[in-house]
Amino acid sequence: MAENKNFTIGITQGDINGIGYEVIIKSLSDSRIMEMCTPVVYGLSKVASYHKKYMEMSDFSFQFTKTAEQLSTKRPNLINLYEDEVKLDLGTSTKIAGQMAERSLYAAGRDLKNKLIDAIVTAPINKSNIQSEKFKFPGHTGFFEHYFGGKEHPAMAMMVAENLRVGFVTNPMPLQKVSEDLTVELVLQKIEILNQSLKQDFALNNPTIAVLSLNPHCGDEGVLGEEEKSAIQPAVNQAFHNGINAFGPFSAEGFFSSGSYTRFDAVLAMYYDQGIIPFKLLTHGGVNFTAGLPIVRTSPAHGTAYDIAGKNIADPQSMRNAIYLAVDILRNRAMNA
């Protein structure tokens, strides 16, 4: 088993006009991070210096390097991806910010494929300005599934906090399309991914999974919808038959407020808002983890937060927890290898 301090964690810069650099620098200024891993940011040295200046972090510094093969274990590293000046417009979505976010993501992805780093932690991107001829994904999860997964390794977004793990059957999409996408096969696939991740990544030997309904009151025997009968219940039954401790479907409207989630190791929601809203209400400093892939990718459970960019008030706890979780998952996978 590898020692924690030997894990190299790549960190993408995200949108340079958001709070990415602020939460990265605040997180990496915590001495505990350097004790447990070797961090390397894929970013822009001049942009990092600007953010460090307004944050008045004079005692913090990066080790600038050209490749992930030359990293310091004494202080955080930064691979400079672009030598020219880049215009910052804090709190604003710009084309150049999207281009730099894309460049960071692909550079870190290549190094992860080449085993120069052990995991990736992604700072928030703007899903609109990052779109290009090359990047046509709705977000990080789609990118990592395409880059590292494919048909053999379908991915699933999972929100993680100390007392709550929430997976999603469908990716973020227009709500009217959710019902069209729900099939027995898809729900069963996501139950299986969640179950395997709980074992492999969270070291749970016999995990339990609560599966939520799509419609109010579980469809009220078809009065409020048929998806529970046609897709969700059959998938739960098949998963249980296959030896997975999956239960449900449970009516979503009362599941979290009643505290029922505390009786399970994870919850599987049918669509994004169904799971993310209660998750954010019940937790602080949550992490987004891409389950189902052979690689480890985590991210803070927040966006670019343009409204507070440059104000030095962003909370780094979610970014810090994303780094911690990446190391924990790497350690759990090493133990089970």
Supply the pLDDT for residue 1: 36
**Cα 106 to Cα 289: distance, rounded to the nearest angstrom:** 18
State mean pLDDT over 242-248.
97
pLDDT mean over 283-292: 96
Does 2 have pLDDT greater than 50?
A: no
Evaluate whether 303 touches 319 at the Cβ level (below 8 Å): no
Place of tokens 């447990």: 36
CA distance 32 to 28: 9
Domains 1-153+288-337 and 163-282 are alike in CATH topology? yes
pLDDT in tens, 168-179: 999 888 889 999
* Beta bridge partner(s), residue 247: 210
pLDDT at 43: 97
Confidence band of 153 (pLDDT split at 50, 70, 90): confident
Q: Please list the residues that pair with 121 across neighbouring strands.
A: 11, 298
CA-to-CA distance for 258 and 261, rounded, in angstroms? 8
- Mean pLDDT of the region 57-71: 93
pLDDT of residue 223: 63
Start-end of H helices in the chain = 20-28, 31-36, 45-54, 95-113, 140-144, 175-181, 184-200, 227, 233-241, 252-255, 272-282, 317-336
Q: Does 167 or 151 have the greater pLDDT score?
A: 167
Predicted TM-score (pTM) of this structure:
0.94
Instruction: For residue 241, name the pLDDT band (cuts at 50, 70, 90).
Output: very high
| Residue 6: Cβ within 10 Å count | 11
Other beta carbons within 10 Å of 228 = 27
Tell me whether the omega of the peptide bond preceding residue 76 falls within 30 degrees of 0, making it cis. no
CATH 3.55.50.30 assigned to domain 163-282? The reply is no
- For residues 305 and 14, give the distance between their C-alpha atoms in angstroms, rounded to a whole number: 12
pLDDT digits (tens, 9 = 90+) for 71-125: 999 999 999 999 888 999 999 999 999 999 999 999 999 999 999 999 999 999 9
3-class SS of residue 66: coil
Higher pLDDT, 248 or 58: 248
Per-residue confidence band for 5, with pLDDT thresholds at 50, 70 and 90? low
- Mean of all residue pLDDT scores within the chain: 94
Up-side HSE of residue 227: CA atoms within 13 Å toward CB? 25
Residue type, 47: V
- The helix (run of H) or strand (run of E) holding residue 39 is strand 38-43
Question: What is the model's pLDDT at position 221?
Answer: 74
| Alpha-carbon 63 to chain mean position | 26
Q: What is the pLDDT of residues 164-221, one digit of tens each?
A: 999 999 988 888 999 999 999 999 999 999 999 999 999 999 999 999 999 888 766 7
Sheet of 287-291: strands edge to edge? 63-65, 77-80, 38-43, 8-12, 119-122, 297-300, 287-291, 156-161, 164-168, 266-269, 208-212, 245-250
List the domain boundaries for the chain: 1-153+288-337, 163-282
What is the percentage of the chain residues whose pLDDT exceeds 70?
A: 98
User: Residue 128 pLDDT > 80, yes or no?
Assistant: yes
Span 1-153+288-337 CATH architecture? 3-Layer(aba) Sandwich (3.40)
Query: What is the number of other CB atoms lying within 10 angstroms of the CB of residue 217?
Result: 15
Q: Determine the pLDDT at residue 63.
A: 95
Residue-wise pLDDT for 11-31, tens only, equals 999 999 999 999 999 999 998
Please return the burial class of 177, using the count of CB atoms within 10 Å of its CB with bins 0-12, 13-18 and 19+.
Answer: exposed
Torsion on CA atoms 205, 206, 207, 211, rounded to nearest 10 = 150
pLDDT at 54 over 60: yes
Instruction: State the Cα–Cα distance between residues 140 and 155, nearest whole angstrom.
Output: 11
